[in-house]
Structure 1
């Protein structure tokens, strides 16, 4: 399975939100002040039709993006095992 793609800092600094997936894992990420809030659920349905299984906040920084990516990849590994 491939890696999760996460946009660069400029994307988040401009207030953009992001939906992504890896296998059966789906996620939504949105910047909120100095953090990025992430919600994760199992596919294939949309967020509105699914139960959010996990949520986390990460600093809006390069380190925070790396932490968010690692968290999402770990959650995906559990779900897609």
Structure 2
């Protein structure tokens, strides 16, 4: 699944802001790419039964997901 599909399936009510930020923000794209890499690393370490590494990358993915949510929140705040 692509990062767009993954984010939209995770946050379906935020599809438009996700697509908008991916198109307009290099910073958002970079955070999303890091998130995708952290998830891939977590899955890799889970498959090799290395729980410590899987947890480490899972925690990193959670931090990146929180940053994605923060960026989405900021993008949808009303401008004064």
Q: TM-score range by the shorter chain?
A: 0.3 to 0.5
Query: Greater strand percent: which structure?
Result: 1
Larger-gyration structure (1/2): 2
Q: Which has the higher contact order (CA 8 A, sep 6+)?
A: 2
**TM-score, with length taken from structure 2:** 0.38
Query: Greater helix percent: which structure?
Result: 2
